[in-house]
């Protein structure tokens, strides 16, 4: 089957920039994508819902022998995130430090280190940087206090003045270096994931529930050939939650309409799932691991310090669904293969840029291409099952494309004719 109409539901991570900047980035990257593959791609302007919780646009993509229409829903959380980042600096710092030491004492940080030392380093680095800045501020405050002592100021007044200098210097350092360090952003992210895991963010849960109902409504309409739920970064566990809750609303969700695929990219499931209180989340992971009507693809990259790699979202949470397990298929993405060699050595050290490569245009044709996943004619499950054929459809001559489509149709038939999905080989096998 060639996908003629695809519906994408995109769930952002903890990103305060929101719709306006994401739409501009998407439009720019779509242009790069169309130039890379020499095809036509146009998109409409976004239309928001009255409650401003979602915006949608459409993309029309056309090549020599295929055409695909994509409906794209951008689920919005930036109002919550911007509110978090507007919190006073002192409150963010004290709250994040308190949470971090609770993570240390509970052994959760140690589990992070065992699962992925790069990610553990990433969430620990702002605390070391905070300590360094505090020590520098304390040194300046001490020097100021010594100067006041030389002028004969009484001890209590010197201490008060030095404390004021310490607070002012540290606050200024945190505020005016934020664009370079992202320290307050990472601390706010830590606070949010802790509170979300402990069900202390009811406004997030309520919005996810509404998005789950939106997914149910789309599936029942039956207008699309394929529905892909894309969760990037923290959107990975938000998307997992949304899909699991949609299945609770409609257990036959994936059986009576379009094929539904969950695509998690650059995910960080353990920042929620490793908390002892997160049993409901782990139950949702188990549900998706065995659900025969849902396909789940999890894309990871070793080069991205902000995702867990290598990590099995099911076994890594000590979940054992037995022989019924069929999800997820874990796909390893090598950014070296999709970035031009002359750009790669600079690219690899820009950690946030690396993290966002999952949702940006390739510089080189490759089987993993976010915009081909969104706009191309190949169903996502088959794209990941036969990546060489998927790439050949995009880059080959007519004869090669004909061979590739036969491979893809064969993969689709193998998928559809599985006699007993419960006894399939586990899809947690790695590819790529």
Question: 34-68 b/e with 16+ CB inside 10 Å = b?
Answer: bebbebebebeebeeeeeeebbbbebebebeebeb
Give the model's pLDDT for residue 421.
35
**Residues 104, 101: Cα–Cα separation, whole Å:** 5
Q: What is the dihedral of CA 274, 114, 121, 109, to 10 degrees?
A: 40
Determine contact, residues 314/328, Cβ cutoff 8 Å: yes
**Residues 299, 263: Cα–Cα separation, whole Å:** 8
> How far apart, in Å, are the Cα atoms of 74 and each of 12, 193, 226?
8, 21, 17
pLDDT per residue over 152-163, tens digit each?
778 788 888 989
Give the model's pLDDT for residue 411.
78
The pair of three-digit structure tokens given for residue 183, joined into one six-digit string: 């320290």
Give the model's pLDDT for residue 391.
95
pLDDT per residue over 160-174, tens digit each?
898 999 999 999 999
> Along the 432 residues of the chain, how does pLDDT read in single tens digits?
799 999 999 999 999 988 999 999 999 999 999 999 999 999 999 999 999 999 999 999 999 889 999 999 999 999 999 999 999 999 999 999 999 999 999 999 999 999 999 999 999 999 999 999 999 999 999 998 888 878 777 878 888 898 999 999 999 999 999 999 999 999 999 999 999 999 999 999 999 999 999 999 999 988 899 999 999 999 999 999 999 999 999 999 989 889 999 999 999 999 999 999 999 999 999 999 999 999 999 999 999 999 999 999 999 999 999 999 999 999 999 999 999 999 999 888 888 999 999 999 999 999 999 999 999 999 999 999 999 999 999 999 999 999 999 999 887 766 654 433 333 333 444 555
**Maximum Cα–Cα distance for the chain, whole Å?**
90
Determine contact, residues 316/267, Cβ cutoff 8 Å: no
* pTM attached to this predicted model: 0.92
What count of other Cβ atoms lies within 10 Å of the Cβ of residue 128?
A: 10
**Residues 52, 82: Cα–Cα separation, whole Å:** 15
């Amino acid at each position: 089957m060639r996908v003629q109409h695809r519906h994408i539901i995109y769930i952002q991570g903890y990103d305060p920039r929101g719709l306006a900047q994401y739409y501009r980035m998407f439009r720019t990257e779509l242009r790069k994508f169309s130039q890379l593959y020499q095809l036509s791609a146009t998109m409409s302007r976004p239309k928001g819902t009255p409650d401003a919780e979602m915006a949608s646009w459409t993309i029309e993509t056309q090549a020599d022998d295929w055409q695909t229409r994509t409906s794209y829903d951008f689920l919005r959380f930036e109002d919550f995130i911007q509110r978090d980042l507007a919190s006073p600096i002192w409150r963010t710092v004290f709250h994040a430090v308190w949470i971090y030491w609770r993570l240390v004492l509970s052994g959760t940080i140690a589990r992070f280190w065992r699962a992925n030392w790069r990610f553990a380093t990433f969430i620990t680095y702002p605390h070391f940087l905070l300590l360094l800045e505090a020590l520098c501020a304390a040194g300046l405050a001490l020097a100021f206090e010594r100067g006041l002592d030389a002028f004969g100021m009484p001890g209590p007044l010197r201490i008060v003045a030095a404390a004021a200098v310490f607070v002012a210097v540290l606050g200024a350092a945190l505020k005016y270096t934020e664009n370079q360090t992202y320290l307050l952003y990472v601390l706010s992210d830590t606070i949010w994931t802790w509170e979300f895991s402990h069900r202390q963010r009811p406004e997030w849960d309520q919005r996810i529930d509404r998005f789950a109902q939106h997914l149910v409504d789309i599936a029942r309409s039956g207008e699309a050939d394929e529905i892909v739920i894309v969760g990037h970064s923290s959107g990975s566990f938000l998307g997992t939650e949304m899909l699991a809750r949609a299945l609770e609303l409609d257990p036959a969700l994936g059986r009576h309409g379009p094929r539904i695929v969950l695509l998690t990219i650059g995910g960080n499931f353990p920042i929620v799932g490793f908390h002892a209180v997160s049993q409901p989340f782990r139950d949702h992971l188990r549900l998706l691991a065995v659900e025969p009507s849902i396909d789940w693809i999890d894309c990871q990259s070793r080069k991205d310090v902000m995702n867990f790699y290598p990590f099995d979202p099911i076994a890594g949470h000590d979940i054992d669904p037995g022989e019924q397990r069929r999800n997820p298929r874990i796909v390893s993405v090598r950014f070296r293969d999709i970035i031009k060699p002359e750009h790669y050595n600079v690219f690899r050290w820009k950690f946030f840029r690396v993290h966002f490569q999952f949702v940006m245009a390739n510089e080189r044709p490759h089987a993993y291409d976010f915009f081909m996943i969104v706009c191309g004619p190949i169903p996502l499950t088959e794209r990941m099952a036969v990546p060489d054929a998927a790439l050949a459809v995009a880059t080959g001559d007519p004869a090669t494309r004909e061979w590739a489509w036969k491979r893809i149709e064969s993969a689709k038939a193998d998928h559809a004719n599985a006699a007993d999905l419960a006894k399939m080989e586990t899809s947690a096998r790695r590819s790529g």
